[in-house]
Amino acid sequence: MLKNDAFRSMDRQECLRLLAKVPVGRVVYTRHALPAVLPVNFALDADSSVLLRTSAGSDLVRAVDGVVVAFEADEFDADSRSGWSVVVTGRATAVTDPAEHEQLMRTGPRSWMPIQQDVFIRIEAAMVTGRELTDLRVND
Amino acid sequence: MLKNDAFRSMDRQECLRLLAKVPVGRVVYTRHALPAVLPVNFALDADSSVLLRTSAGSDLVRAVDGVVVAFEADEFDADSRSGWSVVVTGRATAVTDPAEHEQLMRTGPRSWMPIQQDVFIRIEAAMVTGRELTDLRVND
Protein backbone atom coordinates (compact mmCIF):
# COMPACT_ATOMS: atom_id res chain seq x y z
CA MET A 1 0.00 0.00 0.00
CA LEU A 2 2.48 2.63 1.11
CA LYS A 3 5.83 2.45 -0.56
CA ASN A 4 8.47 2.97 2.09
CA ASP A 5 11.25 1.17 3.86
CA ALA A 6 9.10 0.01 6.75
CA PHE A 7 7.31 -2.54 4.60
CA ARG A 8 8.72 -5.50 2.84
CA SER A 9 6.54 -7.32 0.34
CA MET A 10 6.64 -11.07 0.70
CA ASP A 11 6.47 -13.62 -2.07
CA ARG A 12 3.76 -16.26 -2.33
CA GLN A 13 5.79 -19.01 -0.64
CA GLU A 14 6.69 -16.86 2.34
CA CYS A 15 3.06 -15.74 2.68
CA LEU A 16 1.79 -19.32 2.66
CA ARG A 17 4.42 -20.40 5.18
CA LEU A 18 3.28 -17.67 7.60
CA LEU A 19 -0.38 -18.39 6.94
CA ALA A 20 0.17 -22.00 7.96
CA LYS A 21 1.44 -20.85 11.38
CA VAL A 22 -1.76 -19.18 12.62
CA PRO A 23 -5.07 -20.83 13.47
CA VAL A 24 -7.46 -17.92 12.83
CA GLY A 25 -8.02 -15.65 9.85
CA ARG A 26 -10.80 -13.39 8.63
CA VAL A 27 -13.12 -13.89 5.69
CA VAL A 28 -13.84 -10.56 3.99
CA TYR A 29 -16.93 -10.39 1.81
CA THR A 30 -20.08 -8.43 1.09
CA ARG A 31 -23.34 -8.94 2.95
CA HIS A 32 -26.46 -6.99 2.08
CA ALA A 33 -24.28 -4.68 -0.02
CA LEU A 34 -22.11 -3.81 3.02
CA PRO A 35 -18.52 -4.83 3.68
CA ALA A 36 -18.47 -7.75 6.09
CA VAL A 37 -15.76 -9.63 7.96
CA LEU A 38 -15.85 -12.80 10.03
CA PRO A 39 -12.97 -14.37 11.98
CA VAL A 40 -12.76 -18.16 11.56
CA ASN A 41 -10.30 -20.91 12.25
CA PHE A 42 -8.97 -22.50 9.08
CA ALA A 43 -6.51 -24.89 7.48
CA LEU A 44 -4.47 -24.74 4.30
CA ASP A 45 -5.07 -27.51 1.79
CA ALA A 46 -2.30 -29.18 -0.22
CA ASP A 47 -2.99 -26.83 -3.15
CA SER A 48 -2.73 -23.84 -0.76
CA SER A 49 -6.44 -23.09 -0.85
CA VAL A 50 -7.94 -21.96 2.47
CA LEU A 51 -10.37 -24.44 4.03
CA LEU A 52 -13.13 -23.40 6.44
CA ARG A 53 -15.74 -25.56 8.12
CA THR A 54 -19.16 -24.18 8.93
CA SER A 55 -22.84 -25.10 9.06
CA ALA A 56 -24.85 -25.76 5.91
CA GLY A 57 -27.45 -23.16 6.90
CA SER A 58 -25.02 -20.43 7.91
CA ASP A 59 -25.16 -16.89 6.60
CA LEU A 60 -21.51 -17.30 5.62
CA VAL A 61 -22.20 -20.08 3.11
CA ARG A 62 -25.06 -18.13 1.55
CA ALA A 63 -22.94 -14.99 1.29
CA VAL A 64 -19.70 -16.40 -0.09
CA ASP A 65 -20.47 -19.54 -2.13
CA GLY A 66 -19.37 -18.82 -5.70
CA VAL A 67 -18.05 -15.31 -5.16
CA VAL A 68 -14.58 -13.82 -4.84
CA VAL A 69 -13.63 -13.12 -1.23
CA ALA A 70 -10.51 -12.06 0.62
CA PHE A 71 -9.05 -14.01 3.51
CA GLU A 72 -6.66 -12.22 5.84
CA ALA A 73 -4.38 -13.34 8.64
CA ASP A 74 -1.76 -11.40 10.55
CA GLU A 75 0.41 -11.21 13.64
CA PHE A 76 1.53 -7.92 15.15
CA ASP A 77 3.48 -7.00 18.21
CA ALA A 78 2.54 -3.68 19.75
CA ASP A 79 5.76 -3.27 21.72
CA SER A 80 8.00 -3.52 18.68
CA ARG A 81 5.38 -2.20 16.23
CA SER A 82 6.26 -5.02 13.90
CA GLY A 83 4.49 -7.95 12.32
CA TRP A 84 3.11 -9.32 9.10
CA SER A 85 -0.14 -9.68 7.23
CA VAL A 86 -1.17 -11.95 4.38
CA VAL A 87 -4.23 -11.68 2.14
CA VAL A 88 -5.52 -14.49 -0.06
CA THR A 89 -8.02 -13.39 -2.70
CA GLY A 90 -10.01 -15.90 -4.71
CA ARG A 91 -13.32 -17.56 -5.36
CA ALA A 92 -15.00 -19.27 -2.42
CA THR A 93 -16.95 -22.45 -3.13
CA ALA A 94 -18.77 -24.87 -0.89
CA VAL A 95 -17.45 -28.40 -1.38
CA THR A 96 -20.25 -30.47 -2.93
CA ASP A 97 -18.39 -33.55 -4.17
CA PRO A 98 -19.35 -36.38 -1.75
CA ALA A 99 -15.94 -38.06 -1.85
CA GLU A 100 -14.13 -34.79 -1.17
CA HIS A 101 -16.59 -33.98 1.61
CA GLU A 102 -15.98 -37.37 3.20
CA GLN A 103 -12.26 -36.88 3.06
CA LEU A 104 -12.48 -33.40 4.59
CA MET A 105 -14.68 -34.75 7.39
CA ARG A 106 -11.66 -36.87 8.34
CA THR A 107 -8.77 -34.58 7.50
CA GLY A 108 -10.19 -31.05 7.24
CA PRO A 109 -10.23 -28.35 9.89
CA ARG A 110 -12.40 -28.80 12.97
CA SER A 111 -14.51 -25.76 13.68
CA TRP A 112 -14.16 -23.99 17.00
CA MET A 113 -17.94 -23.59 16.86
CA PRO A 114 -20.58 -26.29 17.13
CA ILE A 115 -21.64 -27.22 13.61
CA GLN A 116 -24.94 -28.39 12.24
CA GLN A 117 -24.58 -30.22 8.91
CA ASP A 118 -20.92 -29.65 8.16
CA VAL A 119 -20.06 -27.72 5.02
CA PHE A 120 -16.51 -27.04 3.88
CA ILE A 121 -15.73 -23.83 2.07
CA ARG A 122 -12.66 -23.68 -0.10
CA ILE A 123 -11.10 -20.31 -0.98
CA GLU A 124 -8.83 -20.56 -4.02
CA ALA A 125 -5.43 -18.98 -3.48
CA ALA A 126 -5.68 -17.17 -6.80
CA MET A 127 -3.83 -14.12 -5.49
CA VAL A 128 -1.61 -14.19 -2.42
CA THR A 129 -0.07 -10.97 -1.14
CA GLY A 130 1.70 -10.16 2.06
CA ARG A 131 3.92 -7.68 3.73
CA GLU A 132 6.10 -7.43 6.75
CA LEU A 133 6.26 -4.35 8.94
CA THR A 134 9.59 -3.87 10.65
CA ASP A 135 10.28 -2.01 13.85
CA LEU A 136 10.47 1.75 13.25
CA ARG A 137 11.11 2.97 16.75
CA VAL A 138 14.77 3.59 16.07
CA ASN A 139 13.66 6.45 13.83
CA ASP A 140 11.27 7.98 16.34
CA MET B 1 -23.82 -15.46 12.55
CA LEU B 2 -24.45 -18.94 13.91
CA LYS B 3 -26.98 -19.11 16.66
CA ASN B 4 -25.68 -21.46 19.30
CA ASP B 5 -24.48 -21.52 22.84
CA ALA B 6 -20.82 -21.05 21.97
CA PHE B 7 -21.38 -17.44 20.99
CA ARG B 8 -22.52 -14.60 23.12
CA SER B 9 -23.48 -11.37 21.41
CA MET B 10 -22.04 -8.30 23.09
CA ASP B 11 -23.70 -4.93 23.44
CA ARG B 12 -22.24 -1.71 22.05
CA GLN B 13 -20.58 -0.65 25.29
CA GLU B 14 -18.87 -3.99 25.81
CA CYS B 15 -17.71 -3.98 22.17
CA LEU B 16 -16.21 -0.51 22.49
CA ARG B 17 -14.51 -1.39 25.77
CA LEU B 18 -12.78 -4.38 24.12
CA LEU B 19 -11.94 -2.38 20.99
CA ALA B 20 -10.13 0.17 23.17
CA LYS B 21 -7.84 -2.59 24.50
CA VAL B 22 -6.18 -3.57 21.21
CA PRO B 23 -3.81 -1.49 19.06
CA VAL B 24 -4.47 -3.03 15.64
CA GLY B 25 -7.64 -3.62 13.64
CA ARG B 26 -8.49 -4.22 10.00
CA VAL B 27 -10.19 -1.90 7.55
CA VAL B 28 -12.49 -3.86 5.23
CA TYR B 29 -13.46 -2.21 1.99
CA THR B 30 -13.65 -2.64 -1.77
CA ARG B 31 -10.75 -1.96 -4.11
CA HIS B 32 -11.07 -2.34 -7.86
CA ALA B 33 -14.37 -4.16 -7.24
CA LEU B 34 -12.64 -6.79 -5.08
CA PRO B 35 -12.94 -7.27 -1.32
CA ALA B 36 -9.91 -5.74 0.38
CA VAL B 37 -8.58 -5.70 3.93
CA LEU B 38 -5.74 -3.78 5.54
CA PRO B 39 -4.48 -4.08 9.12
CA VAL B 40 -3.77 -0.72 10.75
CA ASN B 41 -3.15 0.64 14.20
CA PHE B 42 -5.93 2.91 15.41
CA ALA B 43 -7.46 4.85 18.26
CA LEU B 44 -11.03 5.40 19.41
CA ASP B 45 -12.23 8.99 19.50
CA ALA B 46 -14.44 10.43 22.25
CA ASP B 47 -17.55 9.78 20.12
CA SER B 48 -16.39 6.16 19.61
CA SER B 49 -15.47 6.66 15.98
CA VAL B 50 -12.35 4.80 14.83
CA LEU B 51 -9.40 7.05 13.96
CA LEU B 52 -6.64 6.01 11.55
CA ARG B 53 -3.62 7.99 10.41
CA THR B 54 -2.16 7.50 6.96
CA SER B 55 -0.55 9.35 4.06
CA ALA B 56 -2.51 11.80 1.92
CA GLY B 57 -1.55 9.95 -1.25
CA SER B 58 -2.28 6.44 0.01
CA ASP B 59 -4.48 3.97 -1.81
CA LEU B 60 -6.44 3.62 1.43
CA VAL B 61 -7.61 7.25 1.43
CA ARG B 62 -8.65 7.05 -2.20
CA ALA B 63 -10.53 3.79 -1.63
CA VAL B 64 -12.42 4.59 1.56
CA ASP B 65 -13.04 8.37 1.76
CA GLY B 66 -16.80 8.86 1.74
CA VAL B 67 -17.81 5.20 1.61
CA VAL B 68 -19.13 2.75 4.17
CA VAL B 69 -16.43 0.40 5.44
CA ALA B 70 -16.15 -2.21 8.16
CA PHE B 71 -13.46 -2.14 10.82
CA GLU B 72 -12.70 -5.35 12.69
CA ALA B 73 -10.62 -6.22 15.72
CA ASP B 74 -10.37 -9.46 17.65
CA GLU B 75 -8.40 -11.51 20.12
CA PHE B 76 -8.41 -15.31 20.07
CA ASP B 77 -6.60 -17.94 22.06
CA ALA B 78 -5.93 -21.15 20.16
CA ASP B 79 -5.36 -23.26 23.25
CA SER B 80 -8.73 -22.50 24.77
CA ARG B 81 -10.45 -21.86 21.41
CA SER B 82 -11.98 -18.74 22.86
CA GLY B 83 -11.91 -15.05 22.17
CA TRP B 84 -13.92 -12.14 20.88
CA SER B 85 -14.40 -10.09 17.75
CA VAL B 86 -15.92 -6.65 17.20
CA VAL B 87 -16.98 -5.06 13.92
CA VAL B 88 -17.68 -1.35 13.49
CA THR B 89 -19.54 -0.47 10.28
CA GLY B 90 -19.91 3.11 9.12
CA ARG B 91 -18.88 5.80 6.72
CA ALA B 92 -15.18 6.60 6.47
CA THR B 93 -14.20 10.21 5.88
CA ALA B 94 -10.87 11.96 5.68
CA VAL B 95 -10.68 14.79 8.20
CA THR B 96 -10.51 18.06 6.23
CA ASP B 97 -11.30 20.65 8.90
CA PRO B 98 -7.97 22.40 9.65
CA ALA B 99 -8.67 22.85 13.36
CA GLU B 100 -9.65 19.22 13.78
CA HIS B 101 -6.61 18.12 11.80
CA GLU B 102 -4.38 20.24 14.03
CA GLN B 103 -5.89 18.73 17.13
CA LEU B 104 -5.48 15.19 15.82
CA MET B 105 -1.85 15.90 14.95
CA ARG B 106 -1.37 16.42 18.69
CA THR B 107 -3.78 13.90 20.18
CA GLY B 108 -4.60 11.39 17.43
CA PRO B 109 -3.04 7.99 16.81
CA ARG B 110 0.56 7.78 15.66
CA SER B 111 0.98 5.52 12.68
CA TRP B 112 3.29 2.54 12.92
CA MET B 113 4.29 3.39 9.36
CA PRO B 114 6.26 6.42 8.15
CA ILE B 115 3.74 8.98 6.90
CA GLN B 116 3.98 11.55 4.15
CA GLN B 117 1.44 14.36 4.55
CA ASP B 118 -0.63 13.05 7.44
CA VAL B 119 -4.29 12.41 6.83
CA PHE B 120 -6.70 11.21 9.50
CA ILE B 121 -9.55 8.94 8.54
CA ARG B 122 -12.57 8.74 10.80
CA ILE B 123 -14.89 5.72 10.65
CA GLU B 124 -18.27 6.49 12.20
CA ALA B 125 -19.40 3.88 14.71
CA ALA B 126 -22.84 3.73 13.09
CA MET B 127 -23.20 0.00 13.76
CA VAL B 128 -21.17 -1.84 16.39
CA THR B 129 -21.52 -5.60 16.71
CA GLY B 130 -19.48 -8.15 18.57
CA ARG B 131 -19.47 -11.64 19.88
CA GLU B 132 -17.58 -13.73 22.32
CA LEU B 133 -16.62 -17.32 21.64
CA THR B 134 -16.32 -19.46 24.74
CA ASP B 135 -14.27 -22.57 25.22
CA LEU B 136 -16.01 -25.63 23.73
CA ARG B 137 -13.47 -28.30 24.48
CA VAL B 138 -15.51 -29.65 27.38
CA ASN B 139 -18.01 -30.86 24.77
CA ASP B 140 -15.45 -32.49 22.51
Q: Taking 70 as the threshold, does the pLDDT of residue B2 lie above it? A: no
- Give the distance from residue A4's alpha carbon to the nearest chain B alpha carbon, in angstroms: 7
A48: left (phi over 0), alpha (psi -120 to 50) or beta: left
CA A49 – CA A44 distance, rounded (Å): 6
ipTM, two decimals, is 0.91
Q: Is the C-alpha dihedral spanning A71, B111, A7, A22 positive or negative?
A: negative
Beta bridge partners of A132: A8, A84
Say which residues have a Cβ less than 8 Å from residue A38's Cβ, sequence separation at least 6. A26, A27, A29, A60, B1, B85
User: Given pLDDT bands bounded at 50, 70 and 90, which one contains residue B114?
Assistant: confident
User: Closest chain B residue to A81 measured between Cα atoms?
Assistant: B112
How confident is the model over B47-60, as a mean pLDDT?
95
Tell me the nearest-neighbour CA distance from A47 into chain B, angstroms.
22
The pLDDT assigned to A1 comes to: 41
Q: What is the pLDDT of residues B17-44, one digit of tens each?
A: 999 999 999 999 999 889 999 999 999 9
Q: How far is CA B100 from the centre of its chain?
A: 20
pLDDT at B13 over 90: yes
Q: Is the pLDDT of residue B48 over 50?
A: yes
If interface means Cβ-Cβ distance under 8 Å, which residues of chain B face chain A?
Answer: 1-2, 4-7, 23-24, 26, 28-30, 34-39, 41, 54-55, 58-60, 68-70, 72, 74, 76, 78, 81, 83, 85, 87, 89, 112-114, 133, 136, 139
Q: Tell me the residue type at A89.
A: T
Q: Which residue on chain B is closest to A69 by alpha carbon?
A: B35
**Distance set, CA A110 to CA A1, A2, A51, A114, B125 (Å):** 34, 37, 10, 10, 33
Q: Which domains does chain B have, with CATH numbers?
A: 7-130 (2.30.110.10)
- With left for phi above 0 and alpha for psi between -120 and 50, is residue A37 left, alpha or beta? beta
Mutate to test the interface with A, among B10, B21, B28, B54 (most CBs of A within 10 A): B28
β-pairing verdict for A118-123 and A127-133: unpaired
Rounded to a whole number, what is the distance in Å from the CA of B5 to chain A's nearest CA? 8
CB count in 10 Å sphere of residue B139 = 8
pLDDT at residue B1, as a whole number: 41
Among A1, A30, A85, the residue with its CB nearest the CB of B58 is A1
Task: Inspect the interface and report whether the beta carbons of A70 and B114 lie closer than 8 Å.
Answer: no
Residue B137 pLDDT: 55
What end-to-end distance do the CA atoms of chain B give, in Å?
Answer: 21
In chain B, which residues have their Cβ closer than 8 Å to the Cβ of A70? 34-37
Q: Which residues pair with A60 in a beta bridge?
A: none
Q: How many CB pairs under 8 A join A and B?
A: 117
Q: What is the pLDDT tens value at each position of chain A, 140 positions in all?
A: 444 567 899 999 999 999 999 999 999 999 988 999 999 999 999 999 999 999 999 999 999 999 999 999 999 999 999 999 999 999 999 999 999 999 999 999 998 888 889 999 999 999 999 999 987 555 44
How many Cα atoms sit within 13 Å of A3 on the Cβ side?
A: 1
Do B124 and B90 form a contact (C-beta atoms < 8 A)? yes
